[in-house]
Amino acid sequence: MIARADDSTMVTLTWALSLLLNNRHVPVKVQEELDGCVGVERLVNDADISNLVYLQAIVKETLRLYPPAPLLAPHQFYKDRIIGGYHVTKGTRLLVNNWKIQRDSRIWPNPLEFKPERFLTTHKDVDIRGKNFELIPFGSGGRACLGISLGLHMVHLTLATFLQRFQISTPENAPIDMIESFGLTNLKATPLEALLSPRLPPDLYA
């Protein structure tokens, strides 16, 4: 469970930073939220995360566009079923393509656009823990990822800490390549390169 949460955390943080670097207005907004809720005289901590609603929206939107596992864990039918008009026989194994579901234009307006605000407005009640089938980066039901709570906790706190401490940019302000690799884990095809500069008082970096 810990290994799985660690792997998905790395993948999610890489995509989150890549998306932020390609949408420069978004880091500005989340850093304004951090400065308003936490300030610049102390570091963000666990207790602050529930108040950082825009940060949470960024994480949801990242997981919608780039789920760590494009295909969910296999399911096997224990009896015959009719799904979408198709007869599925007992013993059939099903792989759910949640990457496709989460980019479906019938569900998500402008599905390829990185827009965290959708989770503060039109999709604010969409749950990320498997209760709403249009957003299931961790799966749902009995086969849902066991590391979901640990993974989300690590992503929120790490991303909040990183964005509170640093301004981010790219060499020569070049856009980030968003090509995905092939595999069971949705890794970025090319390494992420970013420039960091401190934004807090020097004593907070000790």
- The residue type at 119: F
Give yes or no for a contact between 51 and 30, defined as CB atoms under 8 angstroms apart.
no
- Whole-number Å distance between alpha carbons of 39 and 54: 16
Beta-carbon contacts of residue 193 (< 8 Å; ≥ 6 apart): 170, 171
Beta-carbon contacts of residue 174 (< 8 Å; ≥ 6 apart): none
- Whole-number Å distance between alpha carbons of 47 and 50: 7
Residue 82, judged by CB atoms within 10 A of its CB (0-12, 13-18, 19+), counts as: exposed
- Whole-number Å distance between alpha carbons of 116 and 60: 7
- Whole-number Å distance between alpha carbons of 170 and 176: 8
145 annotated binding-site participant: yes
- Binding site listing: 145
- Binding site listing for heme: 145
